[in-house]
Chain A
Amino acid sequence: MPLGSPRLHPMTSAINCEDVRISYGDLQVLRGVSFDVSAGQGVVLLGANGCGKSTLMRSLNKLEKLQSGTIRIHGESLTDASGRQLRQIRRGMGYVFQHFNLVPQFSAFQNVLLGAMGRHRMGLLSCLSSTASTAERGKAMECLERVGMADRALHRPSELSGGQQQRVAIARMLMQAPKLVIADEPIASLDPKAGREVLDLLWRIVREEGLSMLCTLHQLDLAQEYADRIIGMKAGRVEIDAPIAELDINQLSALYSGMTRVDAGRTDAAA
């Protein structure tokens, strides 16, 4: 199979995965995942708990190491990237986490400023509230305004609600000025109303900025509402990959029945 040159994968492809495999010990979590997200496309990744979604999302940022296969982000191979090259790829990719992952000791403003660390040679030293340039400080404040959190700039995460914390995390992602957004269950820890608001905000920003997005969700109705395309995973493999118009709710529901987990059958085998 011609897995080689980047020329085969035009620059319009924001994410390109080919036969991605990851295992923990003898547990195969990703069993040959291949898909492609073109630039500017908003894709929702669906799948039951334990089907390998999060592992896939983390591997896109190389927070998880591949066993085999290739991942290209905007045409650049993530698989062999390390050091400066890896940081360069990561810089173009905003990551929104389920648990927000703000630094608890810093204010919302300082947390947003940290989003700019990747683009400064001095890293943290250029991104502290006291040392950052006026331009960067202004930009951080703009990002907070955009997510409606400007009035809470000096609050610490513990003084904010879950929805507000996720807004700050989105502002941090905006500060990073990425071309691609990976959102790993961004509303799974929020109540339905706050979740809806945050998801609205996230997709609006992604559309306004013309970003590419890969987002995992558990709500089929929301997935159908926001996504251009849906990728469905089941037990470590891509089961569905189709534009939203070609899918009906029954096909999506099937992702959640039967053998969905990557560790299914292990207990039977052990017994």
Chain B
Amino acid sequence: MSQTTGLPPRFVAPSALTWVLVVGFAAFFIQGVVASEISLDRLVRGAGNFVRFIGQAVPPDFSRAPNIAEAMLETLNIAVVGVTVGCLLSIPLALLAARNTAPNGAVRTLTRFVISVARTIPDLIWALIFVVTVGLGPLAGILAIVMDTIGFAARFFSERFEEVQKGPSESLTATGAGRLSVIFGAILPESFASMTATSLFSVEKAIRSAVTLGLVGAGGIGVELSTAMRLFRYDEAAAIILVILVVVIAFEQLSSSIRKRII
């Protein structure tokens, strides 16, 4: 047997494409390191500055706690309202984008394009756009979260719809039920658990985004944080960062425990 076919070689020469990719990547990486002027000297100075920042930040200053709490509440408002609206809007969009529920190919392609635009533009850019269109404040933040959630949730919903087992919807189609009845009677119930999990994950993601949206003026605790940083009030900034940390972790725990119960 081994005489006719021979042992397989230990090493196989990589293809030309692999070579091009590896060399191309290496070149790009080296160019990146050179262009960003990374030097040991700068890193050492940076470390020194970091220690000074920590020194000024500790102990955190909670004297503005009421303002911080109010801003945090606004952040949560932005996240929850934005996610709820975003997830609700994601359902019809996902139905129009999924292969098995879309009325036709043209609508499907168009909807998928809209969803991918919502996803490709980062939340911070959406916030900048909405600050320009609706002005500073939480409304801009909410709209940014809505767009960000649609990009994420509509895609996951539509993928879930496409994965649904065909049997139940076929059996309802066979009874002479209309298309919408089949979608709401078989496809949505089967996707419900996974949609809830996705929505909870969107909330987690939205709280993290809502924190940063304030940096561009779209309301919430980010406004407080960027003000504190700009005024070099690092101890106040530290208090804000701690509050953010606690809230985000608490919400992640809550949502993962709900998710476990559903799935």
Contact = CB atoms under 8 A, between A and B. Distances in A.
A89 interface: yes
A114 B181 CA distance: 9
Interface string A167-197: 0010010001000000000000000000000
A117 interface: yes
A153 B228 CA distance: 62
B168 to A, nearest CB: 5
A102 B168 contact: yes
A56 B74 CA distance: 61
Contacts of B178: 87, 117, 123
Given A87-B178, A97-B167, A99-B167, A63 B173 contact: yes
A94 B172 CA distance: 10
Contacts of B185: 103, 114, 117, 123-124, 127
Contact of A124 (B167, B177, B190): B177
B52 to A, nearest CB: 58
B176 A118 contact: yes
Interface in B155-184: 167-168, 170-178, 180-181, 184
Nearest to A103: B168
B168 A90 contact: no
> Chain B CB within 10 Å — which of A92, A105, A176 has the most?
A105
A117 B175 CA distance: 7
Contact of B190 (A87, A105, A119): A105
Given A105-B192, A117-B181, A88 B167 contact: no
B180 A95 contact: no
B170 A101 contact: yes
Interface residues of B, number: 19
A172 B176 CA distance: 13
Interface centre among B171, B172, B174, B192 (most CB of A within 10 A): B174
B175 A103 contact: no
A104 interface: yes
A256 interface: no
B189 interface: yes
Contact of A95 (B174, B186, B190): B174
7 contacts: A87-B177, A87-B178, A89-B176, A102-B171, A103-B185, A104-B168, A124-B177
Given A102-B171, A105-B190, A117-B175, 13 more contacts: A94-B175, A95-B174, A97-B167, A97-B170, A97-B171, A101-B170, A102-B168, A104-B168, A106-B189, A118-B177, A124-B180, A172-B175, A176-B175
The 6 A-B pairs with the shortest beta carbon distances in the complex, nearest first, are A118-B176, A91-B176, A123-B181, A90-B176, A101-B171, A101-B167
